[in-house]
Structure 1
Amino acid sequence: MKQQVPAGAVDGDVRTRLMRTAEHLLASSTNGQISTREICSGARVTAPTLYHHFKDKHALLDAVVLEGFTEYLDSKRAVARSDDVLEDFSRGWDMHVSFGCEHPAHYRLMFGDLRVDHTSPAAVVAQDEVDRVVSAWAAAGHLRVSAEAAKETISAAAVGVTLQLIAVRATSSHIISTNVRDTIARSVFRAQGSSGTAADGCAGSATQLLDALPNGPWKSLRPTEVALLREWLAVLADRPR
């Protein structure tokens, strides 16, 4: 059955028509698999016209997903931050997962595209936002791990949870999301009310050195000495050994 596109989707210039048509088809798709033929038919253009405006179908879909995610991000940034970093983290996490569950095809194109040497522009924007926010938390002394470790942990967990919820067709309020979110918060952030004492600074320094240590020999230290140093640093960083 031919996909019907709303009249508004074919108004305006050709590039816009192509993007609105692809956007409509994506919204109707569960897996993001839409064809060039469907797009061209809905936009009432030929394939050469599509390739005149976009390198290929993937470039068109990248543009559509980036546009949608940028609008979402603008709305997210408009939400005022509170004095409670854990509340801000939870709100940001929930908004991210909700976006994925409400736009599964878009989200899969952002983070589920397995093409070699390809990263979705929207995924790059998402990671840049995580980097910006986490760096601010680190500068304010809210983290118990290095900024880099926090960024990688939060990103990996949020994307993994969202893709899993999409796969099982669950909503963002599923216990998988809340459990992982709260576990990440406990492992990444200092306890609220931390006074930023010398002990806290020591723990932060130990954490950074622990993250940088190799598993094997290091300079003039033997593997057994590195292992012992790692154990001592884990105690100072208040990490499980």
Structure 2
Amino acid sequence: MDDAKSRTRRRILEVAAELLERDGGQALSTRAVAAAAGIRAASLYQLFGDKDGLLSALAVHAFDLYLARKQTLSSSGDPVEDMRRGWDMHVDFGLRHPAFYVLMYGTDRPGRRPPAAQEAQELLMTFLGRAAAEGRLRVPPVLAAHLVLAAVTGVTLSLIGVPESDRDPEVSPRMREALIDALTTDTSPAPEPTLAARALTLDATLGEADPATVPLRPVETALLRDWLQQLAR
């Protein structure tokens, strides 16, 4: 894409994002976006195809904004505390950008999630992998990630649907703590870790290890990790 088209595309996305946050997705139209951007509707269609194409590009833009904020979260040294901070940041982003959030998580199409969504998932897996490596997870990191994402998106979408003046400030922290209690162990290690805890810790350690340092062939490592995940259930 040449510079002129790139600038036009960026301008359209900026205008569309402003209209989306101001008026919501239902009020967003290609005609309104083109008029606000000072371009012909034909130019918008050439770049995005139709309204669905524009919304898909906006979802990518929204995930990029979310990911940029997520990447500012540095590790606190406590993986469970990092889970809390990540949860709070997620909910805060959704409440600050409700129209974006609904576009990202409320109307997602199977197989159509933007690449930035996968990067956000990988960041979550990094925090959970650290918790598992320290023996703090009760379930495998992949399952924990699914549970965390289901819970935090459910809470955020629920809060978005309630007028700000009627939102109960206890909903998000109570759900967060209930989930963390269900997924993690106490800060002090158990005197005799269970078989499941040992399996989770070894699996997480293998996942973070440099393959060159593991004295197993890749297929053997994959098989071992599969067995460990079975033992952790």
Distance in 1 between the 2:25 and 2:57 partners?
17
Structure with more helix by fraction: 2
CA distance in 2, matches of 1:31, 1:173: 25
- Matched-pair contact (CA < 8 Å) for 1:101–1:162: yes
1:233 maps to none
Q: How many residue pairs end up in the alignment? A: 198
For residues 81 and 188 of structure 2, what CA distance do their matches in structure 1 show? 14
Q: 8 Å contact 1:65–1:122 — kept in the other structure?
A: no
Deviations 1:100-152 (A, max 9, x none): 01100000010111546533555334323223332332233221111122011
Q: Secondary structure at the match of 1:79?
A: coil
Q: Deviation of residue 205 (structure 1)?
A: 6.0
**Larger CA Rg, structure 1 vs 2:** 1
Identity percentage of aligned residues = 36
Where does structure 1 lack aligned partners over 5 or more consecutive residues? Answer: 1-11, 209-235
- Would you say 1:84 and 2:61 are equivalent positions? no
What is the CA RMSD across the aligned residues, in angstroms?
A: 2.9
The yes-or-no answer on 1:102 pairing with 2:62 is: no
Assess, with a 3 A threshold, how the Cα gap between structure 1 residues 141 and 101 changes in structure 2: closer, same or farther. same
Whether the 8 Å CA contact 1:17–1:43 is kept in 2: the answer is yes
RCO comparison, higher one (Cα < 8 Å, 6+)? 2
- 196, 201, 205: which is aligned to 1:203? 196
- The equivalent residue for 1:211 is none
Deviation, structure 1 residue 87: 1.8
Task: Give the secondary structure class of the aligned counterpart of 1:141.
Answer: coil
Q: Secondary structure at the match of 2:39?
A: coil
Conserved 8 A contact 2:19-2:28: yes
Q: What letter is aligned with 2:98?
A: P
Question: In structure 2, what residue type is equivalent to 1:39?
Answer: V
Report the TM-score, using the length of structure 2 for normalisation: 0.73
Query: Take 1:33 and 1:125, find their aligned partners in 2: how far apart are those partners?
Result: 30
Please give the TM-score of this superposition, normalised by the length of structure 1.
0.71
Match of 2:178 in 1: 183
Gaps of 5+ in 2: 1-5, 202-230
Question: Which of residues 162, 171, 176 is equivalent to 1:168?
Answer: 162
Deviations 1:69-104 (A, max 9, x none): 323323332233112222211111000000001100
